[in-house]
A and B are shown apart, each in its own frame.
Chain A
Amino acid sequence: MTQLNIPDSEYMYSGHVGCPGCGAAIAMKFALKALGEKTIMVIPACCWGVIAGPYPQSSLKVPILQTAFATAGAAASGLKAALDMKGDTETTVVAWAGDGGTFDIGIQALSGAVERNEDFIYVCYDNEAYMNTGVQRSSATPFGARTTTTPGKGWKKNRKKNMVEILAAHRIPYAATANIAFPEDLIQKFVKARQMKGGTRFLHVFASCPTGWRIPSEMSVKIARLAVQSNIFPLYEVKDGIDYTLNYKGDRPVMDYLKIQGRFKHLNHKDIEQIQSMVDEDWKLLLRKMNHNQRG
């Protein structure tokens, strides 16, 4: 058995109000182990806006700037500028936003900041819908999922937006995906991002949500792992928008991932086949990019 090698230091407090089995809480726990004490978090409206604690409590041992939904990219840019003014080159600014605040509401501020290549890490912890407001679909919600705004037969018929590709298209120094079920890989990527100062680093972290996905809380990590094992959420890195590195090759059918989640329970055999072919298509496209590193 491979023993996981995870730093012991802890920058999160117990007593936060994340749901039992919250993948986003696990994501933060791991991320801070890599980022360390000299970190400022910028958190727009999202689950973590709640988990971080109601005033005057905080669930983190690092400072947090809570900000408006659409502004993570802008607020992080400003915070970095303020640190520059103070001559603080050591502290890492990290924008920590959900998929709603990244894929939908925050994309303008994010794209603006990224186009300027602002010196911060932007993390999207992706639980694939607006969870803390009651599971409304976002553009990160996958094809086939039921949410409260795509209920019954109206389950989501649109594909999930490919955010890493959008960020890579900005030609930022580093964009990567990570997953809470692969803590060593995740921590390594955060360390890499922390050390790559001078431009925007984007991390797309897959964070399961027992409440919104209608899965048993104890299966939270297991299902996140299945997303990678079935290639529906591949682990990869893009350097400078050009050089692709694949970190894991999955070999399980997407069925294994879908069938244990309440949000996909209504899908029939044909729907699942359709999703499988979408996954295969995306996977092939990704492999093509791996093989065509333009700096070869």
Chain B
Amino acid sequence: MWESMTTEQNFAEKIPLFISRSNMSTELNKTGSWRFVRPIYDEKTAPCSAACPAGEDIARIEMLSSQGRYREALETILLENPFPAICGRVCFHTCETACNRSGLDEPIAIHGIERFIGDAAVRDNLTFSLERLPDNGKKICIVGAGPSGLAAAYFSTRLGYSCDVFEAGAEPGGILRWGIPRYRLPDAVVNAEVQRIKNLGVKIICNTRATQNFLEEAKDRYHAFFIGCGHGRSLKMNIPGENMALDGLDFLNRMRTEKTESLNNGTAAVIGGGNTAIDVARSLVRLGVKAILAYRRRKQDMPAFQYEVETAVKEGVKVMELFSPSSIAQDGGEYILTLQPMKPSGMETDTGRARVVPDGETTQELRVQRIFTAIGAEPSEPWQLPSKENAETVYLSHCAFMANNPPFLFGGDLTNPTKSVADAIASGKQSAIVLDTFFKKGMNAIADRLNSCLVGNGPALSMERYLDGKRSNRNPDMVSYENINVDYFSPAPRIKAESHALDKQVNPFDEIETTFTIRQVMEETRRCFNCGICNACDNCRIFCPEIAVDLQDAQRRINLDYCKGCGICVVECPRNAMALEEEV
């Protein structure tokens, strides 16, 4: 090497270095002493998860899905909801209404992601691990295998109880089975997700109608009871000729069980504005019948979910708003439905719907081949409701509790202010938590325990929080759009699942909407802000001017020896998963 050097290079080598040379690093200076505020990792609550009656950890589910971690996404859903494939289809997704992404463009299609995960779990038979407490020797009798009863069984079993579910129908599922048409919820989906409950060891005894006597007898065998019978009997309109109208719920039930009913064309009137009325009307359209929906208030006052109403109209259902039925008469083989026009007169303060009064004397007559009523329902037996005389009954957001011996819980549509599948799941979950707390810590502990499980400020409850999972550390503070650093997001259209046109369907009762493809899931979940939760984007570490964010075993940690508390990490966190705290 020396030989190859030029004279110049030899000369340069020989020049001594008359210059001071540093020989240590600045790490000697613990600049953390400059700090008067300190950044912390502080995961907060996403508005979607607080709006979800089942309290699913949606921001995390979307994050896991965006990273292709579908099994973990499934496990995260199953912590709070046993029915992702069902809810991905029929839930009215309040989560999407609450979604912060609306501030930038459109909400995330959360239901579509949930459905994808639910379907993938069934299709690929994904195995999952679910925390389960050891058997505590207590048995629960659950009446009604609808969504609330099944959810109560699911959550209670996970808390160590053994559950028997008694169902009057031939198959479990309740309203999922007989109240929701196949084009919205195919049988196979219900079967697969009910199977998940059975796999936990829950016994479902069908064709067994529970009676008051049955309950008396069963008191010796069970330590607690959950009553979730739903609304079995339709309400009456109390108008002349009412007995000539067919019952909408009954019709839907027959549609599920007896294949297809033959209704040859013609026109049918459907009275009501709830989801049942819409389901009846859309089922009629599928049978080639012209459906006219008569509703006494305005279209926007309908209790049916807006999306369902819009789809019904798209499919050809005619909506007559502000018409109240006044009588039904027979004329030849046809029926004449007399309708009284109504007009709005102020607003109801509690429901936000318009109050209506008759508008003039002139009535309108509708000549149809059939009339269906779907104006609401009530429990079929009085014992299915909590006893009014019992002053000890505690009414909670999604269930009622009577601390008799043995204790009784009432849930599902019987007690829920909002009648939906997700609320029924919430009911089952709340009941499981209430009962477990009652047995372990007594009546007085229930209120506090429920509060500690709230998602954000509630009313949604989290089973993960009840079981002291990771989510227990989540700050209840809700992330708002203003808390998001939108510099990291660019507008992108919401992904829509493909829908089949009704007239192109081979079988009109086949499902209309398709499940997202994996590519659609990737695209859609990437749109999610993941409000309040760390998705390991690494911005905190990337931008730190002090090299004071350490990454070890995929965990980020602030090195307080050097952090000067500038706060850049907190502002550059796109999703508000950090906070600045004053030094004490």
Query: Residue on A with the closest CB to B39?
Result: A218
Does A56 lie at the interface of the complex (its beta carbon under 8 Å from any beta carbon of B)?
A: yes
Instruction: Give the residue name and chain of the A residue nearest to B546 (CB).
Output: A14
CB-CB under 8 A from B12, the residues of chain A are 82, 85-86
Residue B239 is within 8 A (CB to CB) of chain A in the complex: no
Measured between beta carbons, the chain A residues less than 8 angstroms from B564 are 20-21
Q: Collect the chain B residues with CB atoms within 8 Å of residue A14's CB.
A: 26-27, 31, 546-548, 559, 561-562
The size class of the interface chain A forms with chain B is 35 or more
- CB proximity to A under 8 Å, residues B546-584: 546-548, 559, 561-562, 564-568, 570-572, 574, 580
Q: Does A57 lie within 8 Å of B28, measured CB to CB?
A: yes
Using known A-B contacts A59-B26, A221-B571, determine if residue A10 contacts B547 with beta carbons closer than 8 Å: yes
CB proximity of A250 to chain B, nearest CB, Å: 12
Closest chain B residue, CB of each to CB of A30 = B542
Question: Is B565 a contact partner of A53 (Cβ separation < 8 A)?
Answer: no
Choose, from A1-9, A102-110, A156-164, A190-198, the stretch at the interface: A1-9
A15:B30 contact, CB within 8 angstroms: yes
Shortest B533–chain A CB gap in Å is: 13
Q: Which residues of A contact B566 (CB under 8 A)?
A: 20-22, 210, 217-218, 220
Bound CA span A220–B566, Å: 9
Residues on B with C-beta less than 8 A from A36 are none
Q: How far is the CA of A53 from the CA of B539 in the complex (A)?
A: 26
Whether B188 is near chain A, meaning CB under 8 Å from some CB there, is no
Residues of B in contact, count (CB < 8 Å): 50
Instruction: Give the CA-CA distance A14 to B545 in the complex, in Å.
Output: 9
Chain B residue nearest to A13 (CB atoms) is: B25
In the docked arrangement, what's the CA distance between A26 and B569, Å?
Answer: 12
A58 contacts the other chain (CB 8 A): yes
CB atoms of A18 and B545 under 8 A apart: yes
* Contact between chains at A58 and B24 (CB < 8 Å): yes
Chain A 194-235 near chain B by CB (<8 Å), digits 1 or 0: 000000000000000010000011111110010001000000
Chain A proximity of B329: nearest CB distance (Å) = 63
A12 within 8 A of B: yes
Does chain B have a CB within 8 A of A16? yes
Contact with A along B515-552 (1 / 0, CB 8 A): 00000000000100110000101110011011110000
- Chain A 44-88 interface mask (CB, 8 Å, partner B; 1/0): 000000000101111100001000000000000000001001110
Verify if B489 is at the interface (C-beta below 8 Å from A): yes
Quote the shortest CB–CB distance from B88 to chain A (angstroms): 23
Q: Smallest distance from the beta carbon of B562 to chain A beta carbons, Å?
A: 4
Contact digits for B1-41, partner A, Cβ 8 Å, 1 yes 0 no: 00001001100110000001111111111110011000000
Q: Does A262 contact B (CB under 8 A)?
A: no
Residue interface mask A121-139, B partner, CB < 8 A = 1: 0000000000000000000
Q: Which residues of A contact B535 (CB under 8 A)?
A: 1
Whether B26 pairs with A4 at a CB distance below 8 angstroms is: no
On chain B, the residues within 8 Å of A20 by CB distance are 34-35, 545, 564-567
Counting CB contacts under 8 A, is A35 at the interface? Answer: no
B571 close to A219 (CB less than 8 A): yes
Q: Are A58 and B567 interface neighbours, CB within 8 A?
A: no
- With contacts A1-B488, A17-B31, A221-B568 taken as known, whether A183 is within 8 angstroms of B542 at the C-beta atoms is yes
Does chain B have a CB within 8 A of A97? Answer: no
List residues of chain A with CB within 8 A of the CB of B543: 26, 180, 183, 221
User: Is B217 on the interface with A (CB-CB < 8 A)?
Assistant: no
Known contacts: A1-B489, A4-B542, A56-B22. The answer to whether A221 contacts B572 by CB under 8 A is: yes
> In the assembly, what is the distance between CA of A180 and CA of B5, in Å?
42
Roughly how many angstroms separate A23 CA and B543 CA in the complex, as a whole number? 9
- Inter-subunit contact A217/B9 (CB<8 Å): no
Alpha-carbon distance A112/B35, docked complex (angstroms) = 44
A29 at the A/B interface (Cβ < 8 Å)? yes
C-alpha spacing A77/B565, complex, angstroms:
39
Contacts of B361 in A (CB 8 A): none
Of A1, A12, A85, the contact of B537 (CB 8 Å cutoff):
A1
- 10 cross-chain CB contacts under 8 A: A6-B542, A15-B30, A23-B545, A25-B546, A29-B547, A57-B26, A57-B29, A86-B13, A87-B9, A220-B566
Please name 18 further chain A to chain B contacts, defined as beta carbons within 8 Å, in addition to the given A16-B29, A25-B546, A56-B21, sorted by A numbering.
A1-B489, A4-B537, A4-B538, A14-B26, A14-B547, A15-B28, A16-B546, A21-B568, A23-B545, A56-B22, A57-B24, A58-B22, A59-B26, A86-B13, A217-B568, A220-B568, A221-B571, A222-B485
The 7 closest A-B pairs by CB, nearest first: A218-B567, A21-B566, A20-B566, A14-B562, A15-B26, A25-B545, A15-B29
